[in-house]
Amino acid sequence: MIKLDAKIPEGSLAEKWKKYKSSIDLVAPNNKRKLEVIVVGTGLAGASAAASLAELGYKVKAFTFHDSPRRAHSIAAQGGINAAKNYQNDGDSVYRLFYDTIKGGDYRSREANVYRLAEVSANIIDQCVAQGVPFAREYGGTLDNRSFGGVQVSRTFYARGQTGQQLLIGAYQALSRQVSLGNVEMYNRHEMLDLVMVENKARGIVTRNLLTGELKSHAAHCVVLATGGYGNVYYLSTNAMNCNVSAAWRAARRGAAMANPCFCQIHPTCIPVSGTYQSKLTLMSESLRNDGRVWVPKKMEDVEAIREGSKKPTDIPEDDRDYYLERKYPAFGNLVPRDVASRAAKDVCDEGRGVNKTGLAVYLDFEDAIHRYGKAEAYSAGKDSEDGELVRKLGTKVVEAKYGNLFEIYEKITGDNPYVTPMRIYPAIHYTMGGLWVDYNLETTLPGLFCIGEANFSDHGANRLGASALMQGLADGYFVLPYTIGSFLSKEIKTPAITDDSSEFKRVIEEVKTRLENLLAVKGDRSVDSFHRELGLIIWDYCGMSRNEEGLKKGRKLLKELKKEFYSNVFVPGEMNEYNPELEKASRVADFFELGELMIVDALHREESCGGHFREESQTEDNEAKRDDENYTYVAAWEWKGEEEPLLHKEPLEFENVELKTRSYK
């Protein structure tokens, strides 16, 4: 039976972390050497944690299914990382970052954790700079910032459009240093397929060597999961192809509570789906909405003409265009938050006004920006600002300087030139706020099992602000877990080395083996991908941008039927004991089925709209999301019960430092 205790320290918000750090039980250096920690995942969260724990003297074993830690999905983050440095002197502070995060999360996150995140954010930047991360600089040599995601201060640090890459390389190098010093044993191409509990403590994992197929158990005093998000349950997402939920889900099956699984973030500006073969969706940075105007045609005949190819978007006169974000949200216009922009795109496409063959795309148009910038340039250069061609040329240059690399990516993928024809975009799943429930120590409901980064649920509530995931991953790994893990390990200093020869380890290996053998034995007729695609569509249709009771129930039913077919008709080629990507995928999809069901259960129970979770039954008169603070100000932590209904546990959220307000962008 799960009991939720968030273990939030006493004291005022600003004092909690300081006091905690000075009062926590420490582990002496000679004891650290005897304590072993398994870190699964070496993205930003895992690599930073593994490196920091090893520096402290713990013996670390780190695992990744990638061929190198440098390939983790974190590498793909573009925009930047937030930190309350107030380098721009624009009034930023720890409190303001805390407040923006709580409000952005639609008041569904824990105050104490978020405040701590804001507090340590500044240290992250210092650490990364010292490692050699080449952040953007101003002329004077100081660090540059930009504003991101609709906040009023400039607190986002960035390295061109490759911030995630540069931060991950920094963490990877710190980890590599510890590997070279013998403090970290690195296991590449090893996928964790189960968790081993011994006497109700997380003491190890079972992995499959992805090259040889060998199953092996690994023991330690405690286990840290840093295995990323589960956006790929939707099949099509902006996540890397191999992202999956299995590590976290296996922990959930062993009794760890899964919190707010239905809180997923859908990003409004992605390149739309072009065909059934499509394997993934590419994000176009949010910054584009600073200058791009979103629209669809007003008239159905124009829509049809565009789809047939008899008209081009540039043929549609101004009056026949519906700049629907500007129309619906005059105050924020094209800059409304991610969830609002995404739903609005869905609405116009549901009305049938989508502008590509699939009917699922809207325009993001830079013509106005090109014109506006061009005029200003011509004017300031003393040239003729009425000369259309010149204005276009100058304006294009400005736009190129701002977004050149994004336009290039777009053209590479679609073959269209966005300087002359508007981009086509559509929302796609991008990030998952839900994850394993953790307390203030980042420990799950299973003693000795910690969870960090996107894999936990902790800091973003029902919606994450741009540039805050990188911050959270590195905060957890560099500055929080290395302290809080002591809360568990300080009680383990007398525990001798854990070995994997106990019956628990043997049993779990057998269970994993049977599970994989069963998948291979089905020998049906459908590929794993075909099931994954169909599963993704079910979740997208019924538990995506907009949810209602009837749809969710239907989705759950469809999902169960598909799952049944999966176990009787999937075809997994090859053998267990060889390099077998199809078997890897099959085992991940099997777990996605169960997680998907839990997402639906969670979405069904939360009869309010908040953040990324929009319940059609809970909206205002003008169709905006309606939160229900009276009944839903809690974290929903689910206990998975196998064939029985999942069991809900509630962690009430108490707001002592902020007032709950309604978001409005009208």
Partner 1 sequence: MNLKLKIWRQPNKEAKGKFEVYEVEATPEMSFLEMLDVLNDQIIEEKGNPIAFEHDCREGICGTCSMVINGQPHGPMGLTTTCQLHMRHFKDGDTIVIEPFRATAFPVLKDLVVDRDSFDRIIQSGGFVSVGTGQAPDGNSILIEQEVAKDAFDAASCIGCGACVAACPNASAMLFVSAKVAHLAYLPQGQVEASKRVKRMVHQMDREGFGNCSNTYACEAECPKGISVENIAKMNREYFSSVIGSQKK
Strand, helix or coil at 160? Answer: coil
Which residues 255-274 are close enough to bind partner 1 by CB under 8 A?
A: 274
Residue 437 and residue 638: Cα distance in Å, rounded?
A: 9
In the complex with ligand FAD, the residue whose CB is nearer, 226 or 355, is 226
In the complex with ligand FAD, the residue whose CB is nearer, 44 or 485, is 44
* Residue 26 backbone dihedrals phi, psi, to 5 degrees: -95, 160
Structure tokens at 561: 């039927």
In the complex with partner 1, the residue whose CB is nearer, 177 or 605, is 177
> Does 166 contact partner 1 by CB under 8 A?
yes
Which residues 489-548 are close enough to bind partner 1 by CB under 8 A?
A: 527, 529-530
Which listed option, ligand FAD, partner 1, none, makes contact with residue 104 (CB within 5 to 8 Å by class)?
none
Residue 543 belongs to what H/E stretch? none
* Residue 574 backbone dihedrals phi, psi, to 5 degrees: 80, -170
Are 432 and 402 contacting, i.e. CB atoms less than 8 angstroms apart? no
In the complex with partner 1, the residue whose CB is nearer, 38 or 169, is 169
Which listed option, ligand FAD, partner 1, none, makes contact with residue 225 (CB within 5 to 8 Å by class)?
none
Which listed option, partner 1, ligand FAD, none, makes contact with residue 42 (CB within 5 to 8 Å by class)?
ligand FAD
Q: Where are the alpha helices (DSSP H) in 218-280?
A: 246-253
Which listed option, partner 1, ligand FAD, none, makes contact with residue 463 (CB within 5 to 8 Å by class)?
none
Stretch that binds partner 1, among 110-118, 159-167, 390-398, 648-656 (CB under 8 A): 159-167
Residue 521 CB coordination number (10 Å) = 10
Residue 621 and residue 638: Cα distance in Å, rounded?
A: 32
> Does 32 contact partner 1 by CB under 8 A?
no
Which listed option, ligand FAD, partner 1, none, makes contact with residue 345 (CB within 5 to 8 Å by class)?
none
Structure tokens at 446: 């299973």
Q: Whose structure tokens read 């300080």? A: 490
In the complex with ligand FAD, the residue whose CB is nearer, 108 or 321, is 108
Which listed option, partner 1, ligand FAD, none, makes contact with residue 468 (CB within 5 to 8 Å by class)?
ligand FAD
Which listed option, ligand FAD, partner 1, none, makes contact with residue 174 (CB within 5 to 8 Å by class)?
partner 1
> Does 581 contact partner 1 by CB under 8 A?
yes
Are 598 and 261 contacting, i.e. CB atoms less than 8 angstroms apart? yes
- Give the count of alpha carbons within 13 A of 560, CB side only: 10
16, 85, 110, 338: which one binds partner 1 (CB under 8 A): 85
How many residues sit in the footprint of partner 1 (CB under 8 A)?
79
Stretch that binds partner 1, among 141-149, 419-427, 432-440, 552-560 (CB under 8 A): 141-149
Which listed option, ligand FAD, partner 1, none, makes contact with residue 67 (CB within 5 to 8 Å by class)?
partner 1
63, 98, 115, 135: which one binds partner 1 (CB under 8 A): 135
Structure tokens at 155: 């607190």
Q: How far is the CB of 133 from partner 1 (least distance, A)?
A: 8
Which residues 285-314 are close enough to bind partner 1 by CB under 8 A?
A: none
In the complex with partner 1, the residue whose CB is nearer, 179 or 335, is 179
Measure CA of the first residue to CA of the last residue in the chain; give whole Å: 45
Give the C-alpha distances (Å, rounded to integers) separating 324 from 330, 335, 348, 553, 620. 10, 12, 8, 31, 19
In the complex with partner 1, the residue whose CB is nearer, 135 or 230, is 135
> Largest Cα–Cα distance in the chain?
83
Residue 653 belongs to what H/E stretch? none
Structure tokens at 149: 């995601």
> Does 277 contact partner 1 by CB under 8 A?
yes
Structure tokens at 577: 């004991």
Which listed option, ligand FAD, partner 1, none, makes contact with residue 228 (CB within 5 to 8 Å by class)?
ligand FAD
Residue whose C-alpha is closest to residue 390's, from 375, 410, 405: 375
Residue 422 and residue 582: Cα distance in Å, rounded?
A: 39
4, 6, 8, 136: which one binds partner 1 (CB under 8 A): 136
Residue 62 belongs to what H/E stretch? strand 59-63
Q: How far is the CB of 432 from partner 1 (least distance, A)?
A: 17
Residue whose C-alpha is closest to residue 551's, from 590, 598, 589, 603: 603
- Going by DSSP bridges, is the β-strand pair 222-225/362-365 parallel, antiparallel, or unpaired? unpaired
629 residue type, one letter: D
Q: How far is the CB of 245 from ligand FAD (least distance, A)?
A: 8
Structure tokens at 661: 């307000």
Cα dihedral 530, 434, 602, 439 sign: positive
16, 32, 59, 73: which one binds partner 1 (CB under 8 A): 73
In the complex with partner 1, the residue whose CB is nearer, 67 or 550, is 67
Residue 463 and residue 495: Cα distance in Å, rounded?
A: 41
2, 24, 76, 360: which one binds partner 1 (CB under 8 A): 76
Which listed option, ligand FAD, partner 1, none, makes contact with residue 381 (CB within 5 to 8 Å by class)?
none
Structure tokens at 348: 């116009």
94-104 vs 111-131: helix axis angle to the nearest 10? Answer: 120
Which listed option, ligand FAD, partner 1, none, makes contact with residue 40 (CB within 5 to 8 Å by class)?
ligand FAD
Interface map 219-248 toward partner 1 (x if CB under 8 A): ---------------------xxx------
Contact residues toward ligand FAD (CB under 6 A) are: 40-46, 63-66, 72-74, 76-81, 163-164, 191-192, 226-229, 238-239, 243, 246-247, 283, 430-431, 453-455, 467-470, 473
In the complex with ligand FAD, the residue whose CB is nearer, 234 or 431, is 431
Which listed option, ligand FAD, partner 1, none, makes contact with residue 14 (CB within 5 to 8 Å by class)?
none
Which residues 350-389 are close enough to bind partner 1 by CB under 8 A?
A: none
